[in-house]
Structure 1
């Protein structure tokens, strides 16, 4: 006998028909595919083996990490830095003494030409001494200018003075690893020079890398110029 009420209604599939739309729930612990409708959740992106779903971390700038394990070239030791400063200092002193000595010899010869029996003897000797003082002042000014150009330009162009190159170290920009620019090289030079006008100020500037706890052994002049000193590559 047939059913007078007709066949039973078919159960609608998940997400079909009016009043329905609740998706089948995935097993616990399995992320939904395509997200929940109307709730703004996104499906997990497809991944390849070994790939992070959040993308790769941005690469640090070139030269970043100097002085840290595996982060780049080795930070120059204070012994090498002292050796470089010693070489430059001795070279400057030798040239300075030679020039001053030449001026002193010239003044002495001029004083020798003065006639002790002449009424102008004292004036002649005073003129010779005045010439020596003028020569000393001129040599000092020239050395100040040469010292600026020497350290400033050498650091900017090749990363260090002849003393630094001799002991195998160089100054670099702490962020890029390249030679410092003109401004940074000047700042790095001028700070110790200003310190020279204060009691042992210059010495404290050159010793300040000992108190740096960043691992880069940056002195106060390095921090101001954003530079650091590293060992030169053997390449």
Structure 2
């Protein structure tokens, strides 16, 4: 006669049902706490919090964005370049006046001061153009000299080389100075040799 459990006639103690340990997957497709949830198929995955996202390429080509231009730089016209050069020439007028007065009165000290002033203005303009792409005249006309490859200023040394290259524009009856009037990139011969362009800034 058995006094125990009719389902356990031998009296052996029953073991409680085992639960899956921490970190083990449960039956029925459920995942334990702490495991990343997999998104359903067909749903695009989004980068999670704290994950680095791929950097986006900067817009433009190093040039200021202008409506309607897209990736093409907004080239300065021949008229803008001419007027900018004219303003740069006018900047030297005070030095020329001092030289003229000194030469007319035989006061050679004034002539020397005038030449020193002219050289100082030329160096100052070169530094401005190399560092910012703008002389006084270019800034007044809203244009800038930049490298064609990346739209950045030339640097003082390369800006000086470009000025030396302007002798090419004076060959063949100064045709190089007029070339931007019909050239697709509005370049002089010096610009083509040095791979530079002049663009509008506004």
Same fold per superposition (TM over 0.5):
yes
Equivalences, count: 146
TM-score (norm: length of structure 2): 0.57
Separation (CA, whole Å) in 2 of partners of 1:78 and 1:187:
22
Match of 1:152 among 126, 130, 139: 126
RMSD: 3.7
Q: Secondary structure at the match of 1:166?
A: helix
Unaligned runs of 5+ in 2: 1-43, 45-56
For the pair 1:79 / 2:53, whether they are aligned, the reply is no
Structure 1: gaps spanning 5 or more residues? 1-48, 50-57, 108-130
Q: CA 1:225/1:146 → structure 2, altered by over 3 Å: closer, same or farther?
A: farther
For each residue in 1:31-80, what CA deviation from the matched residue of structure 2 results, as whole angstroms up to 9, or x when unmatched? xxxxxxxxxxxxxxxxxx9xxxxxxxx9998338x999522441111111
Q: Deviations for 1:80-111, whole angstroms, at most 9, x for unmatched residues?
A: 1111011111221x22332123313542xxxx
Given candidates 167, 171, 175, the residue that maps to 1:204 is 175
The change in CA–CA distance for 1:151 and 1:211 in structure 2 (over 3 A counts) is: farther
Aligned residues of 1:184 and 1:227 also touching (Cα < 8 A): no
How far apart, in 1, do the equivalents of 2:175 and 2:125 lie?
A: 19
Q: How does 1:18-29 map to 2 (within 5 A)?
A: none
Output the TM-score relative to the length of structure 1. Answer: 0.50
Between 1:160-169 and 1:71-80, the stretch displaced more is: 71-80
Shift of 1:159: 0.9
- Aligned partner of 1:43 in structure 2 is none
